[in-house]
Amino acid sequence: GQQVMQIPQYQHVQEGEDFTTYCNSSTTLSNIQWYKQRPGGHPVFLIQLVKSGEVKKQKRLTFQFGEAKKNSSLHITATQTTDVGTYFCVTGGTSYGKLTFGQGTILTVHP
């Protein structure tokens, strides 16, 4: 089945610094979703990308889908303590009945 590799596994930043997590696949992906899981919580949907080269923004968050649709990234500008959590990239198959998660990037923000 499809696999997505996510790096880094951990990232520690000072509040105000930027943060980026990357997701890579050896095969072409039809879609990428990003989820955030707060400590002790459950994954919450952030965004979905389906088009080659697509870029979407949500306030301080910028999501990109690569031209070859084999990689994606999530960039957070000027991190805040509320950004703490684990960020997952996810690809969906069989019209998204089947979701494959990356390993996640655990973000810690030091005030």
Partner 1 sequence: EAQVTQNPRYLITVTGKKLTVTCSQNMNHEYMSWYRQDPGLGLRQIYYSMNVEVTDKGDVPEGYKVSRKEKRNFPLILESPSPNQTSLYFCASSRQGGEAFFGQGTRLTVV
Residue 60's Cα: distance from chain center in Å? 14
Residues touching partner 1, count (CB under 8 A): 25
Tokens of 37: 């899981």
Q: How far is 59 from 76, CA to CA, in rounded Å?
A: 9
Q: Which of 24, 77, 103, 108 binds partner 1 (CB under 8 A)?
A: 103
* Least CB distance to partner 1 at residue 104 (A): 5
Is there binding between residue 1 and partner 1 (CB under 8 A)? yes
Rule CB under 8 A: which of 58-77 touch partner 1? Answer: none
- What is the distance between the alpha carbons of residues 49 and 47, in angstroms, rounded to a whole number? 7
CB atoms within 10 A of CB 53: 11
Residue 96 touching partner 1 (CB under 8 A): yes
Residues in CB range of 9: below 8 A, 6 or more apart: 103, 104, 105, 106
Q: Which of 45, 67, 78, 110 is the binder for partner 1 (CB under 8 A)?
A: 45
Which range of residues in 13-21, 36-44, 51-59, 61-69 is near partner 1 by CB under 8 A?
A: 36-44
Give the binding site for partner 1 (CB under 8 A): 1, 6, 9, 33, 35, 41-45, 48, 88, 90, 92, 94-104
